[in-house]
Amino acid sequence: MKRWRRSGSTTARAASRVRRRAVAVASLGAALVLSGCGGGEETTGRVGADTTNGKELFIEKCGSCHVLSDAGTQGTTGPNLDHAFGYARLQGFDETTFYDITLQQIDLAAPPMPADLVTGQDAVDVAAYVAQAAKVQGPPPATPSAAP
């Protein structure tokens, strides 16, 4: 009895499925951008951000929760941003990475961080300021070890 096989290997079919999904996702993203969805106000992005405004807003709206040495803030609720980004900076990550992470955290705030603390261009300015300012300031605090 003759056995029939489909043409193409399993790997080729899988690669084809991945390509089709990638095209579908890219098309959906383009459609959302072109239709104006997910946009909100127009912003400058990191390169055109006003980091002086970002620092002022950070001190006013974020400093009571976050430590950031450049801003002189000593918050105790949120993460110490010098320590949060310091090690990654030592590993060679650049400001673009820190900007993207900070802006996403602002946009997707989870309690205890309030939603919409800063929005639009103000959020871009704060994210750009934090990305530029956060650095290593001494060793990170010791974490308590579990009792044996």
Least confident of 22-26, 38-42, 81-85, 93-97: 22-26
Instruction: For residue 91, give its domain range.
Output: 51-133
Beta strands in the chain (DSSP E): 67-68, 73-74
Q: Do 56 and 35 belong to one domain?
A: no
Q: Do 98 and 64 belong to one domain?
A: yes
Position 43 scores a pLDDT of: 83
CATH (domain of 103): 1.10.760.10
Q: Do 73 and 112 belong to one domain?
A: yes
Pairwise CA distance, residues 132 & 3, whole Å: 64
Q: Quick check: is 45 in a domain?
A: no
- Reduced to 3 states (helix: H, G, I; strand: E, B; else coil), residue 74 is strand
pLDDT of 28 over the 90 cut: no
pTM: 0.66
Pairwise CA distance, residues 145 & 148, whole Å: 9
Q: Do 55 and 26 belong to one domain?
A: no
At 41-62, the pLDDT tens digits run 678 888 899 999 999 999 999 9
Q: What is the mean pLDDT of the chain?
A: 79
The residue among 92, 101, 96, 89 whose CA lies nearest residue 135 is 89
Pairwise CA distance, residues 139 & 25, whole Å: 43
Give the count of domains, the chain. Answer: 2
Q: Quick check: is 77 in a domain?
A: yes
The phi-psi region of residue 45 (left if phi > 0; otherwise alpha if psi is between -120 and 50; otherwise beta) is left
Q: Dihedral through CA 29, CA 31, CA 33, CA 37, nearest 10?
A: -100
